Amino acid sequence: MGNGELEHRELREPSAQAAFSDIASPIVDEAIEQAKGVASNPSAEGLHQLRISMRRLRSLWWSYRPLLDAGENTRQGDLFRSLSDSAGKARDYDILIELLKQQQRGGKALPSEISDARQKALDTGRTVLSNPEMKTILLDALSQATRELAARKDRTPLQTFSDGRVIASEKQLRRRMRRAATVKNSNVAAFHDVRKAGKKTRYLLELFGPVLSGGHGKALNRLKKIQKRFGALNDVVVSENLLRNNASLLAGIADPEKTLKWFRKERERRLRAAAALLRKYRK
């Protein structure tokens, strides 16, 4: 390919380096607006949406890892994960409450200890994520990565880059699926790794969708099914851990042993359902 043809191609198709800000900026802006909403009217759903934005940013930064300083890229990824975790605590208690309602089938009122813990998590998330410094942190992360990419002398066509990073993400997902398929069903960590890898691949397909070569509709549908089935498993695992690791939450439940037994059985049932879907998609 001659220099003239290469220059013409770059005019038609932006480079991955040049496109980064256009992809990342809307997510950063959305996260900043969501943080403002959390500050003025905190809700578990608002925090959940902010958590999704943090996960999307983390996935995007992961995709650009080959083009960014490794140490700084890891630091930013850890930052997004920390913010995501802060946003998710209250949502975890909401899921626990819903599962307890299922277990009790409209029986006794839930203990005040659980609603108090949920409110505390909501307040903590609001305090962390409504901090004015959060806007500065996110804008600094965007600015730094944009400058670093602009300073690179090489240029990678956006489609080539996007295809390659989606393929890398899909390979990681397949490795985790193979591992989960070979471990005992009691190994929830392996299934959780599949869920995380599936989310990352889904986010990348959505972020890079317009420029990817080929169709990915079938892959997206599969990922949504994995996310739903494996997310249901994660819900019961997280809720069970909340109960087991917080004696005060169990204190107000009339029959804690019966409740824990129900969660154990529900976890096993959802593990089997997740394993069945895994077998289906590995054929």
In 3-state terms the chain splits into helix, strand, coil percentages (rounded to 5) of: 85, 0, 15
Rounded to two decimals, what is the model's pTM?
0.88
- What pLDDT does 67 receive? 96
Name the band, by pLDDT with cuts 50, 70 and 90, for residue 238. Answer: very high
The neighbouring-strand residues paired with 15 are 157
CA nearest to 185, candidates 244, 264, 242? 264
Going from N- to C-terminal start, the domains of the chain cover 15-88+123-156, 157-283
- What pLDDT does 133 receive? 82
Query: Is 87 or 190 the better-scoring residue by pLDDT?
Result: 190
Whether residue 68 has pLDDT greater than 80: yes
Distance CA 167, CA 261 (A): 41
- What pLDDT does 283 receive? 60
Name the band, by pLDDT with cuts 50, 70 and 90, for residue 91. Answer: confident
Name which of 14-23, 101-110, 152-161 the model is least confident about. Answer: 101-110
Query: Is 161 or 135 the better-scoring residue by pLDDT?
Result: 161
Q: What percent of the chain has pLDDT over 70?
A: 93
Whether residue 3 has pLDDT greater than 50: no
- What pLDDT does 271 receive? 93
CA nearest to 137, candidates 31, 257, 235? 31
- What pLDDT does 121 receive? 87
- Contact indicator for 28, 138 with CB cutoff of 8 Å: yes
CA nearest to 151, candidates 26, 57, 18? 18
- The residue type at 215: G
Mean pLDDT, residues 258-278: 92
Residue 214, classed as helix, strand or coil, is coil
- What pLDDT does 12 receive? 59
- What pLDDT does 83 receive? 84
- What pLDDT does 11 receive? 44
Whether residue 73 has pLDDT greater than 80: yes
CA nearest to 241, candidates 220, 267, 215, 216? 267
What are the tokens at 223? 């990922």
- Contact indicator for 211, 158 with CB cutoff of 8 Å: yes
Distance CA 90, CA 236 (A): 15
pLDDT digits (tens, 9 = 90+) for 212-237: 987 788 889 999 999 999 999 999 99
- What pLDDT does 167 receive? 95
Name the band, by pLDDT with cuts 50, 70 and 90, for residue 108. Answer: low
pLDDT digits (tens, 9 = 90+) for 4-26: 444 444 445 789 999 999 999 99
- What pLDDT does 166 receive? 96
Mean pLDDT, residues 68-72: 92
Name the band, by pLDDT with cuts 50, 70 and 90, for residue 2. Answer: very low
- Contact indicator for 81, 199 with CB cutoff of 8 Å: no
- What pLDDT does 146 receive? 96
Burial letters for 119-141: b for 16+ Cβ neighbours within 10 Å, e otherwise? eebbeebbebbeeeebeeebeeb
Name the band, by pLDDT with cuts 50, 70 and 90, for residue 107. Answer: low
Mean pLDDT, residues 24-46: 89
